[in-house]
Structure 1
Amino acid sequence: MIKRNGPLRLALLGCGVVGSQVARLLLEEADEFEARVGRRLELVGIGVRHDAERPGIDPALLTTDVEGLLAEPDIDLVVELIGGIDPARAYVLSALRSGASVVTANKALLASHPELFAAAAEAGVDLYYEAAVAGAIPIIRPLSESLIGDAVTSVTGVVNGTTNYILDQMHTAKVCFPEALADAQRLGYAEADPTADVEGDDAAAKAALLASLAFHTRVTRDDVETEGISAVTEADIEAAEELRCVIKLLAHCSLDSAGSVTVNVHPTMVPLEHPLASIHGANNAIFVECINAGQLMFMGPGAGGTPTASAVLGDIVTAARNRVRGVAGPAVPNHQTRGITEPSEASSRYYLQLLVEDSPGVLARLAEAFAERGVSIQVVRQEPCAGEEGPEVTGLARLGVMTHAASHRDVAATVSELESLPQVREGVRVMRVEGM
């Protein structure tokens, strides 16, 4: 990395919700950033997809010729906020190979293209992405630097504000999923096409980045078993509340007994006593467990223009300071090569809901199905299934079965066996349980 005198030249790619806030703050607070960095930060251009006025942004800075902007001489920093995989990947790779440091909030890109980290290391420049996982919440630098002397055993987080808002509304306002989703869209918490959020893809990309940092090994989006929240019902919410739990979409990363990485995203029952249960609305939180530091909690706004811009600007200042010193920051520690636990072998506690015949011998037959697959039952809850004239006319009962920790493979085989029994009258609903 070459040290030069004069301003540090910065190119911004993207001028949407976050990009416009980053540009505004860079321009309005230029003197303050100069004091923090030790050199002026000069915004030389903003690459955009379409010509349009951006309120508060000098039109002379805007250009649709992104390749031309990146080809400007002596670009020190490139800030990528356009999102998506292509053409963002080509832009970031071009910037790194030309010797510019890069700041990005693009979790999908980083989780699917780990070669970008290698390109940054080869060029001796920085690739920072604090805003990619949890908006304003500082979690990337704590995992990659502050806790580098400790051994992280698990990272569990509410990392998607859209799904957290929806599930929170289903609990607190007693509305169904479609109604809660429509409310989230009306308030701007959910996109017109909310698929990436509600089906867990956004959280899965973040889980891959968290697992890579926590366990010093490369984990990609394809390694993350994923289930979204679109199938969560009001009955699931009621069952969770009867157990003094709430349902959260959790990104969970941990090491199994063999040192293999388990990483998944699932709707999960969380007991009210757990710190993650108290995260409401569109907020995010990440719960880290370490050998020496113990349990740590990071929480705050996980999205939004100004909060996310705060994390981006923190990375810009850090990368700029490194530039002034003529060095790059610590490389992402991926010195270990760990295996990825097969999804079928991942272990968890589960809660199963069944509609069954309310007759003698049924419980014994169900218990036999669990025992045949080696799934240990901890608690069984039974309630009559009420009809219009009273519960006795239905001849049915609802069962809730809490298991001890078991592999997904064994639980899935148990469910298949249960659903084949004539005494079980509808599909078995299954949900993971955390922290009980």
Structure 2
Amino acid sequence: MMRTRPLKVALLGCGVVGSEVARIMTTHAADLAARIGAPVELAGVAVRRAGRPRPGVPEHLVTTDATELVKRGDIDVVVEVIGGIEPARGLILSAFEHGASVVSANKALLAQDGAALHAAAVGAGVDLYYEAAVAGAIPLIRPLRESLAGDKVNRVLGIVNGTTNFILDKMDSSGAGYSEALEEATALGYAEADPTADVEGFDAAAKAAILAGIAFHTRVTAAEVYREGITEVTAADIRSAKEMGCVVKLLAICERARDGRSVTARVHPAMIPLSHPLASVREAYNAVFVEAEAAGRLMFYGPGAGGSPTASAVLGDLVAVCRNKIAEATGPGESAYTELPARPMGDVVTRYHVSLDVADRAGVLAQVATVFAEHGVSIDTVRQQGRDGDASLVVVTHRATDAALSATVDKLRALDSVRDVASIMRVEGE
């Protein structure tokens, strides 16, 4: 039977995502009510500046006092889509204190203070849901947290930032340099005016922290995620990847150690073979590859950002949280029982693509090979091309630790015959 008293929702933020959430709540009100078992009413919308036109949002619901809105005793659910650490953190905690469950899309906050927020939600007997914080519309957090709850996830490998994937895809398909591809991404609205969070890997690192924590039932913060962006990726790197039958992607990689005693989470550009499913992910799309013991390999694919896709994830959480409110129950919270430590990046084992500018003379290749051997890094292939007294030397290694590769590069830089270590890129997904 339909409950007649509506569930009241406070919306914090009415930008690209928030306005789409408000629109769907209004236009699909009857469907949402049928799915939840009660009407859902938008009770207030907190914005930074009033007076701007907000189509579909009744003017009397708009307020600039977010604190007062979340403190209202009649609010059942707070939807937070303002982003950032503060005031979002304080507003969410205040919502909990006043009995409201929270649906958030705030990856930066969850990656930094997720443990404290989960504890506050449990203490208040309310829900904290955040499907929209990672990979937009792609159902990912709920499958990891619920569908795979009885399985053991060992690895999560994915493209979780649409802006960087668009840039790298354009560099690959058109031969453009990084700056040109970024300019196109900005013109099309894929990149912000300040793209630092995307291109330097901060956005992907926050998402990796969230994924690692859920997948491995432990606590991982953004500060524990190794991070490299794509600003140093060159057209030469893209061409070299093509020659290897690979493509360059910014990957978020979360792994459980083979002995099961630690985890790693890292974000960096990498070459992956064209045969890997992630290699075909184009433009601003996201995809995440999950490897579990019983389920095997699973791939989740779809639009990872944008108003409508992100709002879809927010509304899915809103339906789940509202159903819990009616049932006077809460959904699954934080699971961090394994308490696995984060392993340092130096212990990570993978393959490497190293491009060197060297003197074009006899014995240089032998010198370089000796340095690799001294540090226990085995060479798989070598390509050399001479030009006017200098040469380009590309070395692809077998699997080695990151620490061993770093020591090798330091020694190579000290050789008189090595003009420059032009680029270093990991090779993943094999």
What TM-score bracket applies, with the shorter chain setting the length?
A: over 0.9
CA drift at 1:311:
0.5
Equivalent position of 2:143 in the other structure:
142
In the other structure, the counterpart of 1:389 is none
Q: Equivalent residue for 1:294?
A: 296
Provide the C-alpha distance between the structure 1 equivalents of 2:73 and 2:121, rounded to a whole number of angstroms: 19
CA distance in 1 between partners of 2:48 and 2:27 (Å):
24
Distance 2:280 2:199 in 1: 20
TM-score, normalised via structure 2 length: 0.97
The code of the aligned residue for 1:101 comes to: S
In the other structure, the counterpart of 1:396 is 390
Q: For 1:119 and 1:336, how far apart are their aligned partners in 2?
A: 20
Conserved 8 A contact 1:357-1:425:
yes
Residue in 1 aligned with 2:48?
Answer: 49
Q: Could you say what secondary structure the match of 2:421 adopts?
A: coil
How do 1:34-113 residues align onto structure 2 when only pairs under 5 Å count? 34-51=33-50, 52-113=52-113
> What secondary structure, in the 3-state scheme, does the structure 2 residue paired with 1:339 have?
coil
Counterpart in the other structure of 1:167: 168
In the alignment, what sits opposite 2:180? 179
Structure 1: runs of 5+ lacking an equivalent: 386-393
Q: CA deviation at 1:74?
A: 2.2
Local SS of the residue matching 1:320: helix
Secondary structure at the counterpart of residue 257 of structure 1: coil
Q: Which runs of 4+ in 1 moved over 3 A?
A: none
The within-5 A match list for 1:33-432 is 33-51=32-50, 52-114=52-114, 115-259=116-260, 260-385=262-387, 394-432=388-426
The Cα shift of 1:357 comes to 2.3
5+ residue gaps, structure 2: none
Range with bigger deviation, 422-431 or 61-70: 422-431
Structure 1 counterpart of 2:44, one-letter code: G
Distance 2:140 2:93 in 1: 24
| Counterparts of 2:284 and 2:270, CA distance in 1 | 17
What CA distance in whole angstroms lies between the structure 1 residues aligned with 2:117 and 2:71?
19
- Which shows bigger deviation, 423-432 or 105-114? 423-432
3-state SS of the aligned residue for 1:338? coil
Preserved CA contact (<8 Å) 2:132 2:314 = yes
The one-letter code matched in structure 2 to 1:303 is: A
SS state of the match for residue 399, structure 1?
Answer: strand
Question: What does the per-residue CA deviation read over 1:6-25, in whole Å, with 9 as the maximum and x for residues that have no partner?
Answer: 11111110000000000011
Is this contact kept in 2: 1:415–1:428, CA < 8 A?
no
What whole-Å deviation, never above 9, does each CA across 1:186-245 have from its counterpart, x for those lacking one?
000000000000000000000000000110000000000100001111111111111011
Who is 1:27 aligned against?
26
Tell me the CA shift for residue 332 of structure 1: 2.4
Secondary structure in 2 matching 1:113: helix
C-alpha distance in structure 2 between counterparts of 1:428 and 1:408, whole Å: 18
1:17 maps to amino acid: V
Determine helix, strand or coil for the equivalent of 2:365.
helix
Q: Deviations over 1:251-272 (max 9, x none)?
A: 0000123321111100100110
How far did 1:371 drift? 1.1
- How many residues are paired up? 425
- Kindly provide the amino acid, as one letter, of the partner of residue 399 in structure 1: L
Q: Following the alignment from structure 1 to structure 2, what is the Cα–Cα distance between the partners of residues 111 and 321? A: 26
Which deviates more, 212-221 or 422-431? 422-431
Deviation sequence 1:14-51 (CA, Å, 0-9, x none): 00000000001111111111100000111110011101
User: TM-score normalized by structure 1?
Assistant: 0.96
1:419, 1:428 within 8 Å by CA — same for their partners in 2? no
Q: Distance in 2 between matches of 1:81 and 1:415?
A: 43
Query: Residue by residue, what CA displacement relative to the aligned partner does 1:119-157 show, whole Å, maximum 9, x if unpaired?
Result: 112222110000100000000001000011111110011
In structure 2, give the amino acid aligned to 1:407. Answer: T
Identity %: 56
**Residue 99 (structure 1) shift:** 1.8
CA displacement, residues 164-183 of structure 1 (integer Å, 9 cap, x when unaligned): 00000000011111111010
| Shift in Å, 1:5 | 6.5
| C-alpha RMSD of matched pairs (Å) | 1.1
Indicate if the aligned counterparts of 2:22 and 2:56 stay in contact, CA closer than 8 A: no
Q: Secondary structure at the match of 1:300?
A: strand
Provide the C-alpha distance between the structure 2 equivalents of 1:107 and 1:289, rounded to a whole number of angstroms.
23
